[in-house]
Each structure stands twice: as C-alpha cells, then as structure tokens.
Structure 1
Amino acid sequence: MKFQMKKRPLLSNLKSRKVKETEFLGETRFLLYTETRFLRENGFLYLIFLPFCLLLGCAAQGPAQIVPPQIVTSTSQDVTKPRLLGVNYLYSISRQPQESGLLSQPMGLALDVNDNVYVADAGNHCIQVLNADGDIIMVLGRLGWRPGEFDNPVDVEVNFIRGEFLYVADAGNDRIQACSLINRIFGVVAGKKSGESIERNVQSEIQLDAPGGIATDGNSNIYIADTGNHRFLKLNPQGKLLLAKGTFGWTREQFSKPTDLVVDSNSNIYVVDTGNNRVQKFDFSGNLITIWGKKGDQPGQFNEPRYITVDRWDNIYVVDHGNCRIQVFDLNGEFLTQFSFPTLNSPMGIVIGRDDKIYVTDVSAGDVKVFQSVYR
C-alpha cells in the first residue's frame, strides 16, 4: 500500500497478483498455495475495527472493538471460493535504529517467488530488499536523476513472466524505471528521457507527472497510475502505449490524483481515485464497469485511499489510509469486511503473497507488518 519525502510523496501501490505467476520451460504457470494446517494450529483473530490510530493524521477513535467477520461469497459459479473469517497479526519486518538500512517512509512494496520483500523506501531514495528476518539482501539506487537513481520512489513491482524484471515508480523524476534482476541494469520505460528503455533501446515518448502506482499482468503489460496527470496508462512490455484513460474531474471515468492500481485474474483494472475517495473498475479495453466509495468512515467509504491489491480469489484489498484500516471488497465492489490493529499506525503499501500472508508498509513505524488471512 507505497513512502518518502523532500516534497510530500504521492502514494500508490502495487499490487497485482504477485507471486502467482512464473515461467517454466517457456510456459506460464500459475501457482496456487492451499496449505491450511498452519492456520488451524494458530487459530485466528476476528477482525478488529477502530483501533487507537496514533500518527499522520489518524486520530484515536476509541478502544478497539471486535467485529464479527462477514461472510465472503462468490458472485461467480466457483463454489470452491472460501469464506474469509479473519486476519491475524504475525510479525513486523524492520531494521533496528542502530543498524544500517533503516526504512525511512516505506511506501509501495512487492514480493518475489522466495517471499523476499522489495520496498520503495521514499525517504532513502532507494529500493531495499529484505528477507523475512529483516536482513538486507540488496539495496538498489540512491538519490539522483540518472538511470538506477531515484527521487522519491513510491511503488515497486516484480514480474517473472518474461524474465526477472523490477519496475519502480520514480515519482520525483516523473518516470518509470525498470531493470533485469539478473544484470541490474536500469532503463526508462516511460517518462523523462534520462535513459533508454529496458527493451529495444528505444527512448520513451510518454510523459508522466509524479507517477504513483505500478502493476503488471500475466502478459507483462505495464499499468501506471499517472497521478499528476489524473489518468492511468497501459503499456506493452516494450513500453508502447496501448491505453490512456482519464482527465481531471469527479464524474465517471475522471480522476483526482489516482495513486495506485491493480489487475485481477480477468484483466480488469482497479484504480484508486484518491482525491475522489473511490475506486473505479475498468475492463482490459478501458471500458468502465463500476465505481464504488465516497468520503467517510463507514464500511465502503474512504478517507484518502492509497494502495490496492488483489488476492488469489480476486478479493480486492484497499488501504484506507486516512481511516487507518484495510477494507476488503469482492470483484464487484461489494463490501466484505475490514481490519486494523493497534500496532498498525499508518498503513500505506500492500501486497499478498503465498499462504495468503498480507504485507503492509507502516510509514510512521518505518516497517513492514505481516498478517495472516484465515479462510474456511
């Protein structure tokens, strides 16, 4: 759910179906994780609503309350879709203040197939890669404008369909950078022409303004929340523009500072329309399907929504930043449930990995908090 600042970062996130796809002998495979023994042994917590929210404008709302979970039902013919019962807090991934590599305003995040966590560390102008113990595996980038350097990176995406590629929303430099995780050579996919594109050595002609969220799909198409231009874009893997949608406004198919987007298993696109406190859903061609949300603190309402992701059942998770909670919806935008915890002070980026673990960046705590979804 995406963090940093010299100028206040535009937040976004990430989060298409990560750790769900890989390539094997030239053939795309989809990985499904169905192990549930761990969940049964550890039990679960019912979802907690209205905790004490401490920082970044989240005022205390009173004692945390236990809210009985709502039943999650499928709108399709898939009768195997389980019910989401609750979410259990597991642990946090962070560095101690005396150690090098302390996260400073962590924003969007992504996972690789080994569950290593890639964090857009806006405050340190880099991408930090951590394992589950919080140990630094590698650090990519530093403050600057050259390829491989960043200014307020706010989101990150990892795609393994056509190779091991990393994409970064380099908001302060008004561009999207990409690199192969094998050779770690960066190029510009879209935005300012400070470097060549990662493929075909063709410089991008697409101009961006403080891009926020970035996502990819099963065909390695690239989706960008072009925050400052109040639109979203769809590019092919070579950076050719396939779709541009949106202008500034508050009516249907218009946006006010969209900060993140995600793509579901049917190639539908969900865009977080932050300034309008809503989510807009489009099909793969850019045709509007539905809109939900408005400003407020009730279920299905938002206060500065920031990041978004989707799980393997096509449930949609929206980080409701101003209300210090995560809300969950079905693919039609129907409210399913919500959760928050006293330890989650300022949620931002979000991604869901194997075994239905939920990773959320906490910008005020400077860490990544890990939760466990519990299904029946």
Structure 2
Amino acid sequence: MKKLYLLFLFIIFISLTANSVILLLDDYKYNNYSTNSRSPYYELIDVIKAPGDVIDQFHYPQGLALDMDNNLYIADSKNSRIWKFKDDTFESVVFTDVLLPVDLEYSATSGTLFVTDEESHSIIEFYTDGKIEKTIGGTLGYRGSNLSYPSGICLKGNFLFLTDRLADNVKKIDTLNKFSTILDESGKESGQLNEPADIWINSKGWIYITNYGNDRVEIFNPDLYYAGKIGERGINLSQFRGPYGITGDIFDNIFVCDSHNGRVQRFSEDGIASATIGEGILKNPKFCVVNNEGILYVSDVFENKIYVFSPKMFEIGRKYYMDKDFKKAIKFLEYAIKIDKNNLNAYYYLAYSFFELESFKDVIRVQKSLKELSPGSRAYELTNILVKQINKWEDLD
C-alpha cells in the first residue's frame, strides 16, 4: 500500500515541479553576490579591507585564526600587529610585540594565540589582552630549537606543529617547549620538502603540507610515513603555482591557497578536487581559515584585503537530493537553514529528503517550522501533502 502511495506522490511531484526536474519556489528570495569565481558552490559575501599602514588598515595580511566565538584574528605582517575582528568588523589591535607575524593558531584549551614571527625566528604565545605567555625559539638556525623562517603552524592535541620554510623541515613542539624535527628530507622528489609553507592535520591525524617550492601538497600518515601527494605545477584543476596556506573544515575537506594562480582550491579528504574558489577575485591568496558553518576567510597580500566566501549549502544539498544521496542532502540543507532561516526551498527539499528515508517525525517537524515561517507558501503546501500522507498511513496502521 505504501508503495502505491509513493508512486502517487511522485506523479504529483512531477506535475508540480518546474521543468519536471527541479522545483524553484517563486516566493523564495535568495541573495546572490556578484562573483567571477568558477565554483558553483561558493559566493563572495564580504571583503575586509583596506591597504595602508594606519589604524583599521592592512599592509600584507597573512595568517588567520578563529576563536570559539568566531572572532577573526589577522596577522598584519608589515604593520607588525595582530587584529581582532568581530562579525567582520574591526574591534581592536590585540598584539604588537611582534616583528613580522606570519601565521596564527588559536588554542581553545588555553584561550591563547600562537603567532610565527619570521624576523625574530620565534613563535610567541599570547593572550588577547596582549600579555605574552611564552616565546619559543628566537635563534636563527636550522636544527634543534633554532628556527630559520617559521611559517605555518597547526595545533593538534598538546603539540604544536611548525613548518620552517628555509630549513625545509617540520618541527613538533611539546608543552615543555621541547623541539623534535619530524620531517626533514629536503629535495624535489615525492615526500621531500622544498620551502614548506604551511601544515594542517585532519581529524584522523593525517598530515598535509603545502610544498611551496615543489608546487604540491605532501601527505603523511599519522606514523609520519609518506602517503602521497596532491597536485603538480600548472594552472588547471588540481595543479598549483606556489601553494601556500592550507586548512580544513569539520568534514576534513582541504582548502589550499594556490597563491600564484589567484585562487583557493578545495579537495575532499582523499585529495579529489571539488571546487575552485575566488578565481577572478583573488590576486595572491596567502592563508585561509574555515569556521564551523563553512565560511571561508582568505588573506590576499597583493590586495591587502581579507575575502570572505560562503558555501552555497542549499545548492550542494539540492544536488545531493537530485543524486538521491539523501543523508548528505540533509546535512547540507540543515546548514543552509542555519545560515538563512528564510530559505523556503531548503525546508522543502529537507522535508522530502526525510520522507525518502522514512524519517516521518522529521518531516512533520520541518512542516511545523514552515507553518510558523510561511504558512501561505508553496513550500508549506507541498510539504503538507507529505504530512497528510503520513497521517493516512498511521490511520491505516
């Protein structure tokens, strides 16, 4: 009996769907930002600027970090200071006891920030009130606790991981400031380092290093064995010219600043390219960071600006729905609603995704939300068909 009802609903769905494929609700208004990016799933939503060396301006912004409240910290390298922005609006200069700040990392455990300082060959841990907790390194060199040009940093557990760009190595630092060089084979062959710029470690402990001089990303497993690479020199998808900053999101997707190609490339956990972001907008992206909602911040050292891109969660969720991958569709559609609670299309596809998985309580929950939000909308009317059918099934049972 349920199968016959499902067939009946499918026929209704086709008759009500524009072009018999995708329903585009007339009463849904979505803000599309003008962008030349080739990515169909990211849009430019904000620009934090401007060039200069006076208050509220940048001069060669590089490293970026986010705290637990999504406040953004920016390493303003050639102005020798660290900025704090709240809701993408300048709040304060939080630190100035630094010569040439490069990368930033926030510690949720201690509430402190770590900054690499290329000119003083050190790493400085400080609080957001400007108080210094400790300084690590400080002596020019290539081995032990000496640093040449400390660049990218990544905090994982109780350890700080650091790329020393001119030393062609990666160091690991414990809570007692003890250094150990974990990767130090210099060269151009696979797994060898040539000006490693930045490092990111995913949730499973896999290590990704942007190998700036070799135009690729090196991958090492948690036991530090070489596991492969992403990319080669070039201008096409999955190719780089000067890969620099690297970061990841909560799904372990990888974002790489492809600096001389003027874009950010996104890869899946297994290294498959899935998007290019900012082409035609970015000039020389240096570092990037992603918040838990998928918002991507990118520093551009040529433009002296921070560009903010948002994933089009609804577009991604709808694509998964049309591909009948309903579990993934639900994940992205719920994010879309979190970003824009008035996205009626997202509620509609979310309800139908739950229906396809026979999660009927969730269908009813979505329908109730639509009733509160827009009871006269087509989204509510069409979702209400599902609820009525669910009620009939319950009566039959």
The reply to whether TM is greater than 0.5 is yes
The offset of 1:250, in angstroms, is 0.8
Alignment partner of 2:89: what SS?
coil
- C-alpha distance in 1, partners of 2:182/2:284? 31
| 1:1-376 correspondence runs (5 A) | 42=30, 48-49=36-37, 66=38, 69=40, 86-94=41-49, 100-141=55-96, 149-161=97-109, 163-181=110-128, 184-192=131-139, 206-217=145-156, 219-375=157-313, 376=317
Cα distance in 1 for partners of 2:29, 2:154 equals 34
Number of residue equivalences = 285
Q: 2:260 aligns to what SS in structure 1?
A: helix
Give the whole-Å Cα distance in 1 for the aligned partners of 2:199 and 2:35: 25
Question: Displacement of 1:186 after TM fit?
Answer: 3.9
Q: Is the 8 A contact 1:46 1:87 kept in 2?
A: no
Distance 1:47 1:265 in 2: 32
Distance 1:276 1:96, change over 3 A: closer
Contact 1:45-1:87 within 8 A present in 2 as well: no
- How far apart, in 2, do the equivalents of 1:173 and 1:99 lie? 23
| Distance change >3 Å, CA 294–CA 153, structure 1 → 2 | same
User: Could you say if the C-alpha distance between residues 286 and 41 of structure 1 is closer, same or farther in structure 2, counting changes exceeding 3 Å?
Assistant: farther
The alpha-carbon deviation at position 286 of structure 1 amounts to 1.4
* SS of match in other structure, 1:237: coil
1:155, distance to aligned residue in structure 2 (A): 0.7
- How far apart are 1:295 and its partner, in Å? 0.7
- Partners of 1:225 and 1:187 in 2: how far apart? 19
Secondary structure of the 1:322 match is helix
Distance 2:261 2:211 in 1: 16
What amino acid is the match of 2:106? Answer: V
Question: Which residue is equivalent to 1:28?
Answer: none
Q: Which amino acid aligns with 2:137?
A: A
Q: Shift of residue 95 of structure 1?
A: 5.0
User: Matched residue of 2:119: which SS?
Assistant: helix
Determine the structure 2 residue equivalent to 1:20. Answer: none
Checking the alignment, whether the CA contact within 8 Å between 1:159 and 1:220 is kept in structure 2 is: no
Shift of 1:222: 0.3
> How far does residue 305 in structure 1 lie from its aligned partner after superposition?
0.8
Q: Which structure is richer in relative contact order (CA contacts within 8 A, separation 6 or more)?
A: 1
Q: CA deviation at 1:252?
A: 2.7
User: Is this contact kept in 2: 1:192–1:207, CA < 8 A?
Assistant: yes
Deviation of 1:344 (Å): 2.5
TM-score under structure 2 length normalisation: 0.66
C-alpha offsets along residues 222-270 of structure 1, whole Å, 9 cap, x if unaligned? 0101111001112223322355202320113211101101111111110
8 A Cα contact 1:47 1:339, kept in partner: no
Structure 1 residues 130 and 282, CA gap change in structure 2 (3 angstroms): same
The amino acid that maps onto 1:166 is L
**Contact 1:243–1:285 (Cα < 8 Å) also in 2:** no
Deviation, structure 1 residue 346: 2.4
Three-state SS of the structure 2 residue aligned to 1:355 is coil
CA contact under 8 A between 2:209 and 2:219: conserved in structure 1? yes
Provide the rounded CA distance (Å) in 1 between the counterparts of 2:144 and 2:56.
Answer: 35
Q: Unpaired segments of 5 or more residues in structure 2?
A: 1-27, 318-397
Identity of aligned residues (%): 25
Going by fraction, where is helix more abundant, 1 or 2? 2
SS in 2 for 1:332: coil
The amino acid across from 2:146 in the alignment is Q
In structure 1, list runs of 5 or more residues that go unmatched: 1-39, 50-65, 70-85, 142-148, 194-203
CA drift at 1:182: 6.2
Distance 1:214 1:316 in 2: 16
List per-residue Cα deviations over 1:13-36 (Å, max 9, x = no partner). Answer: xxxxxxxxxxxxxxxxxxxxxxxx
Q: 1:213, CA displacement in angstroms? A: 0.4
Distance 1:152 1:228 in 2: 16
Q: Equivalents in 1 of 2:225, 2:53: separation in Å? A: 51
1:134 Cα deviation (Å)? 2.8
Residues in 2 aligned to 1:292 and 1:133: alpha-carbon distance in whole angstroms: 32
Q: State the shift of 1:138 in Å.
A: 2.6
Contact 2:64 2:72 in 1 (8 A): yes
Distance 1:273-1:41 versus aligned 2 partners, 3 A rule: farther
1:132 CA displacement = 2.6
